Amino acid sequence: MQSVHVWIRSESRSTERRAPVVPADVPLLLDAGFEVTVEDSPQRVFATEEYAAAGAFVVGADTWPDAPPDAYVLGIKELPDEPAALRHRHIYFAHAFKGQEDAQRTLERFGRGGGRLLDIEYLTGDDGRRVVAFGYWAGYVGAALGVLHLAGRLAGPLAPMTRHELDEELEQAGKAGADQLLALVTGARGRSGRGAQRALMTAGVPLTRWDRQETRDLHKQALLGHDLLVNCVVTHTPTAPFVELSDLDHERRLRVLADVTCDVSGPTNMLPVNTEITTWQQPTRRLHAGDPEHNSAPLDVIAIDNLPSLLPREASEGFSADLTPHLLGLAEVDGPSGPWRAAGRAFDEAMERLGADRNR
């Protein structure tokens, strides 16, 4: 095994409190001979002192551009706009391989600096399934916010909480009438879908579960006959969407879209009726005023792209437990293999497409 340096950066997004590796898992890397550097971050749910106590070397925030060239820079969400050229190997959720907004600019930064992007979304096993994700807690929080909004108990700005606090809110919503709602979870067998179902059950909301067969053989009127749609379907190829603009003037019960996938700006958007995220400050947005003449209810959307950060401790602990064993694979003598090789191929293919587009 070769020596590996993992540099855990601070997050540039003010609402991002998660950590890709929690202090309790740092010794696993150190015992394997890794060097672990952690940037100071007052907003991270785990105190910097906890990382220092675990044996990590602590540095100032936003110092990763000066990290050693061979370091893997590890984060959660998007990088700050500078530097314009990225020279390191970065591990984070970049959302840059499916034509999303800012995808080209992100890839061009790596092209200028000669760095590489190992997008966590593309860490996949031999079966093509993702090996690590925040999906369960994304689904849990997304469904919970949908229920709270329908119960009139959701207002911005949102703030991080514990699962116990969120469950108490869900139970109160159920007692206030949310148990009379109908909810539909698409992608029900995946991580996000399972989390969404658990939140709905906590609130006592009757639910319908759709997975591949039901979403492939889409029954649009059945979908529109629910109060809440929790979308947990991830796709890398354009697919028949669930809710389009043409559906809004039809008779429907559907009142809230909780878009856990939140792929709002690319060609694989399963809910093209919405093309913008919502925020912690304004968690919902009105998409359609409704039409009483056609029994069409008002329709709101929740499309927050860092839902698990509202439960930062629980989400980070689960994610770190999954990711840390794979980080150990970075030390293989012949170079990273398995999921890391899959992520590297995804980056190379994205860069090839970028070059081909330039040459047209």
So what's the pLDDT on residue 207? 95
Q: Which of 77, 236, 250, 326 is catalytic?
A: 77
Give the helix/strand (H/E) hosting 146: helix 135-150
| 95 assigned to active site | yes
Q: Mean pLDDT over residues 228-239, rounded? A: 89
For residue 86, count other CB atoms closer than 10 A to its CB.
22
Q: Mean pLDDT over residues 60-75, rounded? A: 97
Q: Which of 88, 90, 95, 98 is catalytic?
A: 95
- The pLDDT tens digits of the residues spanning 118-138 come to 999 999 998 888 999 999 999
Q: Mean pLDDT over residues 277-286, rounded? A: 96
Question: What are the chain's domains?
Answer: 5-131+311-358 (3.40.50.720), 135-305 (3.40.50.720)
Q: Is 151 exposed, middle or buried (0-12, 13-18, 19+ CB in 10 A)?
A: buried
Give the separation between CA 244 and CA 218, rounded to whole angstroms: 13
Residue 156 has pLDDT above 80, yes or no: yes
Residue 233 has pLDDT above 90, yes or no: yes
So what's the pLDDT on residue 359? 60
Q: What does pLDDT average to over the chain? A: 93
Residue 139 has pLDDT above 60, yes or no: yes
Q: CB-based contacts of 79: which residues, under 8 Å, 6+ apart?
A: 12, 86, 90, 92, 106, 109
Residue 268 has pLDDT above 90, yes or no: no
Give the separation between CA 253 and CA 251, rounded to whole angstroms: 7
So what's the pLDDT on residue 335? 62
Residue 1 has pLDDT above 60, yes or no: no
So what's the pLDDT on residue 3? 86
Residue 169 has pLDDT above 60, yes or no: yes
Residue 330 has pLDDT above 70, yes or no: yes
Q: What is the DSSP string of 157-178?
A: SP----HHHHHHHHHHHHHTTG
So what's the pLDDT on residue 334? 61
